[in-house]
Amino acid sequence: MYKHILFATELNETKSYIEDKVTLLQQLTQAKVSVIHVVEPIPNVYYGGVYGVMPGLDAEDSIGTTKILEERAKEVLLPLVNRLKLTAQDLHIPIGHTSEEILAFAEKENVDLIITGSHGVHGLQLLLGSTTNAILHGAKCDVLAVRLKE
Amino acid sequence: MYKHILFATELNETKSYIEDKVTLLQQLTQAKVSVIHVVEPIPNVYYGGVYGVMPGLDAEDSIGTTKILEERAKEVLLPLVNRLKLTAQDLHIPIGHTSEEILAFAEKENVDLIITGSHGVHGLQLLLGSTTNAILHGAKCDVLAVRLKE
């Protein structure tokens, strides 16, 4: 049914019920699973707050901040990758525009199902909603939007 | 994983690869499956054309036209229901606004996954796209958008 599933996750979306669905779909379909999280290179205090770093305090410039965000994402997502019985090679943390990077990866790697959260949390609702929208409209494959619980 | 799957279909979306996915997901999850198609009560020549009827020719008024569209939908979808090994009781053809009726049914019947096409065909792209969008944003459950092939 599906051969390559891409789990597109925010850092604050690493919720067990989404992981359970990814795991079950993997088991049911025997698909390869990749995990992707895109770091957007925008030095913004709120955005940094999600990652637990404060741009301008932890880094002197936006490149440094992006690097910190990337490291932080890896720190948060490696345990997820382990729980999904995947390896570090299955975790992808590109830097760029979220939906564009997800769609580019999906196309390049012949992904046939993108799994993503369908509703943001913690005030990022609008941003995450528009990402899901952009994925839905741009994807050349199926998209499973998992409804995030409040 | 899922207990009640709702397959929201257009008449021109009854494509075998979507049916195959519905069937497989049903088998994998052992979920109950319902099929829904909403008839919008708009007397419009193009819309009627999709159903193979011509408002104003086959019916004298919009109520009559809606009734014809409903019958036509049943005619087209009952074979689909049979192929999915469901019964006529699993087929729902409400009259109203598409996404509203789908969301209302989903909520009332405790649907936990809505499966829908993610891309319209035959010039209805914009309309169908906005329906998928409305479902995605309004749904209190997961949504699987199956990418329609051109």
- In single-letter form, the type of residue at position A83 comes to R
Closest residue, chain A, to B143 (C-alpha)? A145
Structure tokens at B54: 């011509």
Within 10 angstroms of residue A128's Cβ, the number of other Cβ atoms is: 21
Contacts of B24 in chain A (CB under 8 A): 1
Q: What is the pLDDT of residue B81?
A: 95
Structure tokens at A84: 């999904």
Q: What is the pLDDT of residue A51?
A: 60
On whether any CB of chain B is under 8 Å from the CB of A130, the answer is no
- Helices of type H across chain A: 16-29, 45-51, 62-83, 98-108, 125-138
The continuous run of DSSP H or E covering B136 comes out as: helix B125-138
Q: What is the pLDDT of residue A102?
A: 96
* Confidence check: pLDDT of A128 > 80: no
Contacts of B107 in chain A (CB under 8 A): none
Instruction: Please count the residues of chain B.
Output: 150
On whether any CB of chain B is under 8 Å from the CB of A85, the answer is no
- This prediction has a pTM of 0.82
Q: What is the pLDDT of residue A55?
A: 52
Interchain proximity B142–A139, CB inside 8 Å: no
- % of chain A beyond a pLDDT of 90: 49
Contacts of A16 in chain B (CB under 8 A): none
ipTM, two decimals: 0.81
Q: Among A17-26, A30-39, B10-19, B137-146, which is the least confidently predicted range?
A: B10-19
Contacts of A146 in chain B (CB under 8 A): 142
On whether any CB of chain A is under 8 Å from the CB of B15, the answer is no
* Confidence check: pLDDT of A99 > 70: yes
Going by pLDDT thresholds of 50, 70 and 90, the confidence category of residue A34 is: very high
Instruction: Identify the residue among A144, A148, A149, A150 best suited for mutation to test binding to B, counting B beta carbons within 10 A and taking the highest.
Output: A144
Structure tokens at B60: 């004298």
On whether any CB of chain B is under 8 Å from the CB of A143, the answer is yes
Mind telling me how many Å the CA of B39 is from chain A's nearest CA?
A: 24
> What's the rounded mean pLDDT across residues A28-50?
77
Angle (nearest 5°) at CA B73 between B69 and B77: 175
Mind telling me how many Å the CA of B108 is from chain A's nearest CA?
A: 17
- Select from B139, B140, B147 the Cβ nearest to the Cβ of A140: B147
Q: What is the pLDDT of residue A106?
A: 97
Q: Among A22-26, A79-83, A131-135, B76-80, which is the least confidently predicted range?
A: A131-135
pLDDT < 70 positions in chain B: 13-14, 42-62, 119-129, 150
CA-based nearest residue to B118, from B104, B102, B135: B135
Model pLDDT for residues A40-83, shown as the tens digit of each residue: 876 554 455 556 655 555 445 667 778 888 999 999 999 999 99
Reading phi first (left if > 0) and then psi (alpha if -120 to 50, else beta), residue A32 is in beta
